[in-house]
Structure 1
Amino acid sequence: MRTIKASGGVKKVGPGQGRTKQVGDVRLTWKATGEDTGYATSFYEMDLPPGKGIPLHSHPYAEVFYVVAGHTDFARIDEQGREEWVRCGPGDTLVVPMNALHAFHNRSGKPSRFVSSSVYYHEVLFETYAPTVDADDPLPPARAPTEEEAARYLRVLNEAMTVHVYFPQADAGSGLEVLRAIEARNAATAG
């Protein structure tokens, strides 16, 4: 009988470990990166505070979400072009097919946590446009963005096409207009 020699490459990433990225006013932590998986997939965890979320977007690869705690609302666009929301709680999985417009927001009054898996190319967006931060640092205080910050946000939405992520808000007249729309979408709902 032949045996295969064990590899030293097996890696454990514990709670609070991984590379954390600041994405607007939320954070995600990479638990498995393309480098870890032969550039086949990447996997992140996100703690989503109440009233926070990621705007409507699409990309040419699927993404899978698994809710661990709390409730996360996912927006999708139906066949008639209408936005509809799907509330997911602990143990629910949401599968977003390639090129499907989607968004996610915590529209409840309590924190939520989910994990997401996609291809390595998804990771490239965050590595390109989101700064790495210390996971233990406090989140930035809630405040209205400056015009300069809003303009930068709009530039990033436009530049995201270079890494094959489409944000329909990129055509907005101003970054403040985009951020106000996101804030309205994040409005708390029952639950």
Structure 2
Amino acid sequence: MSGHLAFALLLLVASVLPRPAMAQEMARALDALPRNSVVRLRGPELRRVQGPIGDVVGDTVFIRRGSRMVAVPIAGITQAEVAAGRNLVRGMLKGAAIGAGVGGVIGAALATGQCDNCDRSQHAQFGALGFGLGATYFALPGALAGLVIGTKDWEPVRHDGYRVSLVQAAEGRMGIGISLAVP
């Protein structure tokens, strides 16, 4: 019963607190980022814009794309993320998966090509064996390439204002947290 009461109280507090406009929140959050931070912006009319952030002027953010600056209206942004470094383990796993897939296809093609006088079940057996051997053989070089290249980690750009979220409480319980920005 107390859980229902807490949820109802949370909804009441969230509906009563004044929230700044989303575009103003986004403008403040983007303006707080260091210049030349790599951002990824998404929106219904934007699709995806990615690049180093420039200036935030009024209701527009400027993103560097090559040698030119692209003006992006902040009102059209629904999601903004900032690059937070490289993740080598994720790159290694992604490279291993790509290497295994490519190697498996090549191995299956080579193995079934060697079987001239085989019936269907033997073709399937040779194909499966070739796929397994090719995937195993190519997974390691793919993992090494992915380890060297890595992938970017992205973190959401945090808005000012208040946020309501679930938080881990004592003894494995879940709680409701409210974060308020203090000027």
TM > 0.5 fold call: no
Give me the TM-score of the superposition, normalised by structure 2. Answer: 0.22
Higher-Rg member (1/2): 2
For CA contacts below 8 A with separation 6 or more, give which structure has more relative contact order. Answer: 1
Q: With structure 1 as the length reference, what TM-score do the two structures score?
A: 0.21
Higher percent of residues as helix: 2
